[in-house]
Amino acid sequence: MATRKTTTGTPRGASSGTTGSARTADVRDAVIVGGNRIPFSRAGKRYADASNQEMFTAALEGLVARFGLQGERLGEVVGGAVLKHSRDFNLVREAVLGSSLSAQTPAFDLQQACATGLEATINVANKIRLGQIDSGVAGGTDTISDAPVAVSEGLRRALLAASHATTLQGRLKALARLRPVDLKPLTPATDEPRTGLSMGEHQAITTARWGITRDAQDEVALASHQNLARAWDSGFFDDLVTPFRGLTRDDNLRPDTSLEKLASLKPVFGKSLASSEATAGPTMTAGNSTPLTDGASTVLLASTEWAEAHDLPVLARFVDAETAAVDFVHGHEGLLMAPVHAVPRLLARNGMTLADFDFLEIHEAFASTVLTTLAAWEDADYCKNELGLPGAFGSVDRARVNVNGSSLAAGHPFAATGGRIVATAAKLVAQRAAETGETARALVSVCAAGGLGATAIIESV
């Protein structure tokens, strides 16, 4: 096994493209070979009757076809779904069995809310770096259209009691406890269990606290649509997306949207909040929040040796990752602020600053997520008090953020977003490095429910 002694704290450019990051010596590189996803579709539209398993299998099959992996035994396929039927307990393994990969390819499901896809990538990359596997696929899938519908707690308990009962009398007695209200189905909700607030309401509080204006949010949304449309038109996704069920592009994309159109939308979140001076009323609309979306994505990772042995290209190196969580329940931090905490720790460990990055991929759960993240890093008091830094963490040239669009335009099938971002970031740094001949880097940041966040560094090879 080829290994690489890594160094920490090496300033950028001090070594020729091998600026190391891992703390552990003698781990090898995990590289990103490429990715594949299906076009994302707004809930209830083109994929209305597609299951998570079908979508993930389709994304996997496109990846297999792109890289000629038919019959290949990969080290592991890791992925998950945020909204999952109980019958899908082995969702990813079932997708592997339904794919053209070798049936001897192991798989497991994991779930970390909206960070599922990125967390899956971290897992696969770590196994590769440790030499436990040579290749793997990370990904995720989510469907709002085909979401599980659960029975009420009363009905569930009655049914379980009836199935445990040994006599007919016992069964009838268990079922007799049912009340009409118990027959109402429970539809899935993404509300935070501990606060009862929706993610949008939580973010509305954060948005107001940071004084993010409606105009600024609409500008982020507009840029997302324009950048994604340009990326599609330029063929950027020709080797990152495989059509599914006749859909060839993300159907949430509105290339012709404008600030006027976005400005005409009524706010949907934060309506009960008292207006702050800066924001003058609720600011978050359907236009600057991500829509509910169906879709699936995959990323192929490998050791450099495996990629070479299989004549496969290498886009980038998956350098390092950091997750964080914030106390939004008892504390005062915003629900989606965890990446703000993770990134300074990640960069400190790797001896980098925000200036070392050519691209920032910040998941657009809401336009204001991007803006509060950037604002927080620029705020010296916040960085001192909340992040324990000596001063402001730094500011970012907005032209480097989500250059090919993000979730506002593409949509956000929860677990599928990580794979979309990782593949996009890997291709971006590969293209930039090919143009400049220098190492290019991308910082990936994905916020998630439960006050979670996952972040990662991706670097050209």
- Interface residues toward other proteins, by CB under 8 A: 58, 61-62, 64-68, 70-71, 100, 235, 237-239, 241-246, 248, 311-313
| Strand, helix or coil for residue 454 | strand
C-beta of 68 vs 391, nearer to other proteins: 68
Pick left, alpha or beta for residue 148 (phi over 0 → left; psi -120 to 50 → alpha; otherwise beta): beta
Q: Could you confirm whether 202 is annotated as catalytic?
A: no
Catalytic residue among 114, 225, 341, 363: 114
Q: What is the CA radius of gyration of the chain?
A: 23
Residue of 202, 225, 363, 412 marked catalytic: 412
Tokens read off for 399? 């032209």
Closest CA to 182 of 160, 152, 156, 161: 152
- For residues 91, 92, 94 and 100, what is the CA-based torsion angle, rounded to 10 degrees? 150
- Residue 258 CB neighbour total at 10 angstroms: 13
Burial 315-338 (b: 16+ CB within 10 A, else e): bbbbbbbbbbebebeeeebbbbbb
Angle formed at CA 196 by CA 193 and CA 200, multiple of 5 degrees: 105
The residue among 223 and 299 lying less far from other proteins, judged by its C-beta, is: 299
| Euclidean distance between CA atoms 57 and 99, whole angstroms | 6
To the nearest whole angstrom, how small is the minimum distance from the Cβ of residue 232 to other proteins? 10
| Residue among 59 and 208 whose Cβ is closer to other proteins | 59
For residues 246 and 390, which CB has a smaller minimum distance to other proteins in the complex?
246
Nearer to other proteins, 65 or 259 (CB): 65
The residue assigned the tokens 């976005």 is 262
Q: Is 383 a catalytic residue?
A: no
Q: How far is the CB of 101 from other proteins (least distance, A)?
A: 10
Closest CA to 115 of 92, 138, 93, 136: 138
Closest CA to 294 of 124, 56, 35, 1: 56
312 versus 316: smaller Cβ distance to other proteins: 312
Q: Rounded CA gap, 441 and 358, in Å?
A: 5
Q: How far is the CB of 235 from other proteins (least distance, A)?
A: 7
Q: What are the catalytic residues?
A: 114, 412, 447
